[in-house]
Amino acid sequence: EALTENTDKQEDAGTVYTLFTADANNGGFVEKLNIQAAGSNISTLIRFFINNGAATTTAANNVMLKEVALAATTSSETTAIPAVEVILNIALPAGYRIIATVATGIVAGVNITAIGGKY
């Protein structure tokens, strides 16, 4: 699926993708994120934020965690597109979320898998 551009660096506007939500009572832990391009894409930047569980449209509810540059990719039937692994190793309080934005719109999209769990 195509991903929509969002250049907001405080994450209080634009399209947001929720990647992980901690348990509402006991919190959670995210070890890492695995990013895999879903086909041919231009280069872009993905910004990851921690959200306190409240509205993402309020800048005070979000803090930037990391930025990760993704290289342009070309879909092929003979060559694999390398995955990008983002190590986090962070505990999240109850109801907190990991959210992401994409700096430039990408047509084929990416699959992002959060590796972790809820307590």
Distance CA(68)–CA(81), nearest Å, equals 16
Distance CA(78)–CA(95), nearest Å, equals 42
pLDDT in tens, 27-77: 999 999 999 999 999 999 999 999 999 999 898 999 999 999 999 999 999
84, pLDDT greater than 60: yes
67 C-beta neighbours (distance < 10 Å), count: 12
pTM above 0.85, yes or no: yes
Q: C-alpha angle with apex 71: 103 to 77, nearest 5 degrees?
A: 120
Q: C-alpha angle with apex 83: 74 to 16, nearest 5 degrees?
A: 90
Residue with tokens 């692994």: 85
